[in-house]
A and B are shown apart, each in its own frame.
Chain A
């Protein structure tokens, strides 16, 4: 079998490589090139150097979107992971109906972002109308709305990852700790969590990058209202690209900056959590 793999590896690798190249690498490189161009459609790009980047930083909505997104990422990172972990702990206890609850918690994740955004907009505005306000009138409400929406959508998914992680911890470890006299709290913080670090790495990475890249939910829930106050990075890029004549290149430059920011933050986070992972 191993021989066969050595001989035939291109058969297995090439289709994926080709798809990855066509679907990702080529557009990615083209995208970087376009960020240095003035263009209306990608066929008539004209090279203009760094001017798009200079313009991108001059636009005051961009730093605001950056700050808003960062704050949002931090809040959702904490909320989603803590809640998902708690639910995962609860649903790995020996109680009845855990499978049903797992399914129910996971379900919101199966609905598309745009649809979710509109549904939650109806729910929120239905509630806010009693208080004589609306989601699109107040940036704070918009922020809270987005946080609730993302928690609702992502907790189920992270919960599944955590459940898998919890079930992978050998019972013998916990029993040994119990025999050594560790109480519940000590077992959680000194046995369970250190052994869960791989899952935590994955989940925090997913929540951070998801929050930074958030687009559909932002577009449909608040649309950046009022006056760009709840506009996150991806939506800001989209608005730049389509909002003005001749701003396609600047939108593209913002997208490249955005990409770099997400990569750097993702890398830092991976390094931070990886260093805490333990060998069983």
Chain B
């Protein structure tokens, strides 16, 4: 009898519990029904901008009553998250691709933005992704990267930025600092960590330079078969990075992005390759002490080279979403780049959000773009004003993630043992790997 009672009790508990969940569901459904005129679901790519987007979404909802959900994928997990989210019933209405290669997997999902209101806000057609006539993605933020350096330390070493006008200058300065590093108390470069949190700075961003110069020389803007004309230059700059840093090259596989930031702000190193997005990380050093140099690799014409400027952030609207949701999404992105609050949140940095939190600090290729208070952005602009030619972001044409990973792996092995044989592996990953990955992508 006891057992029976016990079972009955369990069943009763379960039923009661399910009844409660039933109630809960009903309530949320009721809540959703109110905003039946479309809602926005944005799958955000940039973890560092997550807080700002969340707040902006709230502000927009308060202002217009349209529900905006912002979900941010973890660093390095965007494609993974996007793939699973897009398979769901409530898929993102607004998502991002990183360029032409990223677009290839998602082009069947992209709504044609040709007639969208946001198109009138664009200042240049350079930052849109097209498939035939259809506009499938709009770049919403441009960024620049180069070698961030600490002016104070450079001065202590006896140099100024005017001493560095090309690769040879950079090399001699770095090697001199390395020679005297015990006496100076700092090294030339921060660690070029090849941990997943930092390796993209070299397998993707640094690799952009040999690709850029090859494209320039051949007059193309993408290819199925890279020749590796500038690979020797790539080797030179990589050698410079790893042999003049705070860290033994054999230990690079264990170093993270945070390690490099820490070394830079604690004045353990003068140079740190990264971009405008890293301003908040390095701001501690003080605006007066921060400068940025182009990444010189010793190619012809580099005296006119500026920073690497471009975008890998393209907005795409999910065409499989309901019409109401698509319209709500189009309204939302247009509001972000045209309304004063939206623009301020996107462009401003310190205290730009209505709540006083930091803004996203983007440069946006839209009419309402504001003068930035991100020092690194302004440095990038000054290079353009001085007539330097920005290096475009050609890494968006890299054939696959696999290619980048294999290159990164080869670079790590080479760093530990800098033999010609190991550099051949890098070459193979770069040239043969490109052809292989491009063929693999084309066959799909």
A interface residues with partner B (beta carbon < 8 Å): 1, 38, 40-44, 121, 125, 129, 132-137, 223, 225-228, 239, 242-248
Q: Are B409 and A227 in contact (CB under 8 A)?
A: yes
Q: Are A227 and B400 in contact (CB under 8 A)?
A: no
25 residue pairs A–B, Cβ–Cβ below 8 Å: A40-B86, A41-B87, A121-B254, A132-B248, A133-B416, A134-B416, A136-B254, A136-B412, A137-B253, A137-B412, A137-B413, A223-B196, A226-B412, A239-B402, A242-B79, A242-B80, A242-B401, A243-B402, A244-B402, A244-B437, A244-B440, A244-B441, A244-B444, A245-B101, A245-B104
> Which of B102, B105, B429 is packed against the most chain A CB atoms within 10 Å?
B105
A125 to B410, CA, bound (A): 19
**Chain B contacts of A43 at CB under 8 A?**
86-87
Closest 5 CB pairs of A and B: A246-B444, A41-B87, A243-B402, A136-B253, A244-B400
Besides A136-B253, A244-B401, 5 new A-B residue pairs in contact (Cβ under 8 A), listed by A number: A42-B87, A43-B86, A228-B406, A244-B437, A245-B104
Which residue of chain A has the shortest Cβ distance to B80 in the bound complex?
Answer: A242
| Chain B 188-212 interface mask (CB, 8 Å, partner A; 1/0) | 0000001010000000000000000
| Chain B 399-418 interface mask (CB, 8 Å, partner A; 1/0) | 01110011001101100100
**Chain A contacts of B429 at CB under 8 A?**
227
B interface residues with partner A (beta carbon < 8 Å): 3, 79-80, 83-84, 86-87, 101-102, 104-106, 108-109, 194, 196, 248, 250-251, 253-254, 400-402, 405-406, 409-410, 412-413, 416, 425, 429, 437, 440-441, 444
Known contacts A137-B413, A244-B402, A225 near B253 by CB under 8 Å: yes
Output the least CB separation between B368 and chain A (Å).
Answer: 34
A42 to B253, CA, bound (A): 36
CB contact between A40 and one of B108, B401, B405, B437 (< 8 Å): that residue: B108
Q: Are A134 and B444 in contact (CB under 8 A)?
A: no
A135 to B429, CA, bound (A): 21
Output the least CB separation between A122 and chain B (Å).
Answer: 8
**Chain B contacts of A134 at CB under 8 A?**
250-251, 253-254, 416
**Chain A contacts of B253 at CB under 8 A?**
134-137, 225
A243 to B444, CA, bound (A): 14
Q: Are A245 and B444 in contact (CB under 8 A)?
A: yes
**Chain B contacts of A246 at CB under 8 A?**
104-105, 440-441, 444
